[in-house]
Chain A
């Protein structure tokens, strides 16, 4: 399950537009995998590490 899938499982109402505006998931192709580069959603809290396990 990708980071995106995990976040969508937590917040199923997020839209693709959200991921182009207030949320940025990123992978720098350095072997470290996907991560949350930006979370500026006006109402939903940034997921914790525990929630993303």
Chain B
């Protein structure tokens, strides 16, 4: 390991920038602290906007995230597959919020899952949601994505007829995430 000393950098922040990649920089804050890397750490937030959806009982139904808050690297597909395929290899924190309701004649349980590459990666399950009541599943995980072909999606699975997103447009069904450590 060597040390790079920038002579003359005595105050203010210092930015390191390759000459051939103007969007990739490392900024060293003044007076010490943590070096920040900008421009190559993907982050996104998307949610479902629309009327409540009614997935079939005991069927894993993909959650629709058709509205983006932000998608810094244009890696989230909010129009067709509702999936996130980041373009940087590393460890990502993924956050899922799934608000569900029940307005049928019986109670229902719910499972929600994050899929990686088309297969279930993690499942959470609620207890019974009573008729006319709401439930919520919110969880975060950190998982590895290879930055090329790996992708994630989210699914919900009620044990009886129910619905998700009882209050539309308020991010009650949302998916977000960001790179927390490069590979």
Contact = CB atoms under 8 A, between A and B. Distances in A.
B11 to A, nearest CB: 54
A26 B58 CA distance: 9
SS class of chain A's interface: helix, strand, loop or mixed?
Answer: mixed
Nearest to B118: A37
B154 to A, nearest CB: 11
Interface string A10-31: 0000001001100011111110
Interface in A2-53: 2-4, 16, 19-20, 24-30, 34, 37
A19 B55 CA distance: 15
B60 A26 contact: yes
Nearest to B57: A4
Interface in B55-99: 55-64, 80-82
B111 to A, nearest CB: 7
Given A3-B56, A4-B56, A27-B56, A16 B62 contact: no
Nearest to B80: A30
Contacts of A3: 56, 59
B60 A29 contact: no
A27 B59 contact: yes
Nearest to B111: A20
A31 to B, nearest CB: 11
Contacts of A16: 58, 109, 159
A30 B166 CA distance: 21
Contact of A27 (B62, B80, B81, B109): B62
A20 B54 CA distance: 19
Contacts of B56: 2-4, 25, 27, 34
B60 A37 contact: yes
A6 to B, nearest CB: 11
**Which 7 interchain pairs have the tightest Cβ spacing?**
A25-B59, A29-B62, A19-B58, A27-B61, A2-B56, A26-B60, A4-B58
Interface of A: 2-4, 16, 19-20, 24-30, 34, 37
5 contacts: A2-B56, A4-B59, A26-B155, A27-B60, A27-B62
